[in-house]
Amino acid sequence: MTTATITADDTLNVLKRLKLLARFMDNGWGIPFTNIRFGADSVLGLVPGAGDIAAMLISLYVVVKAYELGAPNHILLRMVGNVAIDTGLGAVPLFGDIFDLFFKSNVKNLDLLHDFLRKTGKI
């Protein structure tokens, strides 16, 4: 799918799917009696090595979709940076598991994409 063939409806459908993915990865469940939410990223991070790589690949999917929707390089670089921080610090034993509860790279990246699309009138 190239940016020339993407309609406004296509963009909204992609955003809807990415929102569900970001929620699943970052905020899918809550810890009872707290405001702390976590997602599959935190759970995958409990599996040393492979879990962090799996979470990174899923997170990079959001970046690929942003590229397909025409996000400029400076936004794509920020998104890749968020994924790198999440993956790098999330891989540190124990600290990374706690870090993953609070650093929501997929939600941050979705916000960056949404802001870009709104400012450029694509949604």
> Which tens digit of pLDDT belongs to each residue from 23-54?
999 999 999 999 999 999 999 988 888 999 99
Question: Amino acid identity, residue 113?
Answer: L
Domain ranges of the chain: 11-29+37-119
CA atoms within 13 A on the CB side of 84: 6
Angle CA(28)–CA(31)–CA(32) in degrees, nearest 5? Answer: 120
CA distance 31 to 43: 13
CA distance 108 to 85: 12
Is pTM beyond 0.85 here? yes
Share of the chain above pLDDT 90, in %: 80
pLDDT of residue 4: 56
